[in-house]
Amino acid sequence: MSEPTWPVARGSATLAPVVSRASVRRLVALAAGLALLLTACASDAPQDSLDPAGPEARTIDNLFGPVMVAALVVFVVVQGLVVYAVIKFRRRADEPEGLDEVPPQVHGNTRLEIGWTILPALILAVVAIFTVPVIFDLTEEPEDALTVDVVGQQFWWAYRYEDQERTDGPEFTTANELHIPAGEPVLLRLRSKDVIHSFWAPRLNGKRDVVPGREHTWRLEADEPGVYSGQCGEFCGASHANMRLKVVAHDEQGWQAWLDDQQRPAEEPTEEIAATGFELFGQRCATCHRVDGSWEQVAEDSPSAPNLTHLFSRDCFAGCIYDLNRNELEAWLRNPQRKAGSLMVIGQLTETEIDQLYAYLRTLE
Ligand code: CUA
């Protein structure tokens, strides 16, 4: 049998170098620009998971470092070989005759194939040896920890504090800002009221999905008092990006003061404009918003809305996308639909009514 012949196309006689100097210069400029852009990522990054602020986040970060190094080594070796092959076997301008002939065809190399199957499997096995225990560690529930119920919903977070021993008082509910004592483990019990969300405070722990019909638990601990930003980490609808959260970690004194404050019942307003606002609140807002400790409304009923008992003890509202101040709150009352997918329906309010409502809400400290 004769050797098979391959169809061969005859190319043009003269060939320009494949990579020109100008395009090399452009590539170098692009790479330098990208590198510069990446260095900017590190400054002012409140959700930097590479800057852990609690034991759980640190455990993940300790794992991330070596795995990243292994990945980088693989990347450099593979890309290095690709670049080497591209340069070494590139088409040259002074290529002799016979350029377009097909090189000898190779079909399989048993040793190589066994090698590049075993090596990655070994690398992954080593990574797994370190990763699997961490996954189990992170799902372990700490004993005697403060437990907070968390309900994710479109598009905000509700929290219930009911652990009588630790809070030493009646249960209460709050929204968006999760307050915890610093230096102590906290256990979250996560549930969803509608679709899948994901609770994520990157400097304190990884993501934990919040799934309808299930209860997931998640640990959280902050080394130091401070404010740690977070957000929903699972696409959940039009305002997924507007479903943020804050974790506020207190020192011992601050924690006790916050608890005392939250357990205080709301007082009826005395000032006239606020009292009118209170009446208006009863007519227009109280179907969904509560000013007491009722959890059922928040966790079970629909529609539900954040409990406002101590609204002005918070810094943010509406899924933590607006700072809590007069301007933002009045703009919200004028048009809650400024946040896409907001379930708040209040109808048109006059400016006088908005002032009255604001005067009442301001008393909820
Ligand atoms: Cu909730 Cu995304």
Residue located via tokens 């696409």: 235
**Closest-lying ligand 1 atom to the alpha carbon of residue 234:** 2
Q: State the average pLDDT over residues 286-311.
A: 70
177 touches 135 (CB < 8 A): no
pLDDT tens per residue across span 64-93: 999 999 899 999 999 999 999 999 988 877
Residue with CA at minimum distance from ligand 1 atom 1 = 197
- For residue 191, the CA-to-ligand 1 centroid distance in Å is 13
SS (H, E, C) the chain: CCCCCCCCCCCCCCCCCCCCHHHHHHHHHHHHHHHHHHHHCCCCCCCCCCCCCCHHHHHHHHHHHHHHHHHHHHHHHHHHHHHHHHHHCCCCCCCCCCCCCCCCCCCCCHHHHHHHHHHHHHHHHHHHHHHHHHHHHHHCCCCCCEEEEEEEECCEEEEEECCHHHHCCCCEEEECEEEEECCCCEEEEEEECCCCEEEECCCCCCCEEECECCCEEEEECCCCCEEEEEEECCCCCCCHHHCEEEEEEECHHHHHHHHHHHHCCCCCCCCHHHHHHHHHHHHHCCCCCCCCCCCHHHHCCCCCCCCCCCHHHCCEECCCCEECCHHHHHHHHHCHHHCCCCCCCCCCCCHHHHHHHHHHHHCCC
Q: State the average pLDDT over residues 34-61.
A: 84
pLDDT for the residue numbered 22: 81
**Closest-lying ligand 1 atom to the alpha carbon of residue 154:** 1
Of 37, 174, 67, which Cα lies nearest the Cα of 130? 67
pLDDT for the residue numbered 284: 87
Whether pLDDT at 167 is above 90? no
Q: How confident is the model at residue 363 (pLDDT cuts 50, 70, 90)?
A: very high
Q: How confident is the model at residue 96 (pLDDT cuts 50, 70, 90)?
A: confident
When the pLDDT of each residue in the chain is averaged and rounded to a whole number, the result is 86
Whether pLDDT at 6 is above 60? no
Whether pLDDT at 151 is above 60? yes
- Pairwise pLDDT comparison (108 vs 76), residue with the higher score: 76
Q: How confident is the model at residue 291 (pLDDT cuts 50, 70, 90)?
A: confident
- For residue 212, the CA-to-ligand 1 centroid distance in Å is 12
The identity of residue 42, as a single letter, is A
pLDDT for the residue numbered 216: 95
Residues at CB less than 6 angstroms from ligand 1: 152, 155, 197, 232, 234-236, 240, 243
- For residue 157, the CA-to-ligand 1 centroid distance in Å is 10
Q: State the average pLDDT over residues 132-137.
A: 92
Q: What percent of the chain has pLDDT over 90?
A: 59
**Closest-lying ligand 1 atom to the alpha carbon of residue 196:** 1
- For residue 29, the CA-to-ligand 1 centroid distance in Å is 38
Write out the two tokens for 89: 């076997």
pLDDT for the residue numbered 64: 93
pLDDT for the residue numbered 16: 46
**Closest-lying ligand 1 atom to the alpha carbon of residue 235:** 2
Cα-Cα-Cα-Cα torsion 250, 255, 259, 260, nearest 10 degrees, comes to: -130
pLDDT tens per residue across span 226-266: 999 999 999 999 999 999 999 999 999 999 999 988 888 88
pLDDT for the residue numbered 195: 95
- For residue 240, the CA-to-ligand 1 centroid distance in Å is 4
Q: How many CB atoms lie within 10 A of CB 169?
A: 14
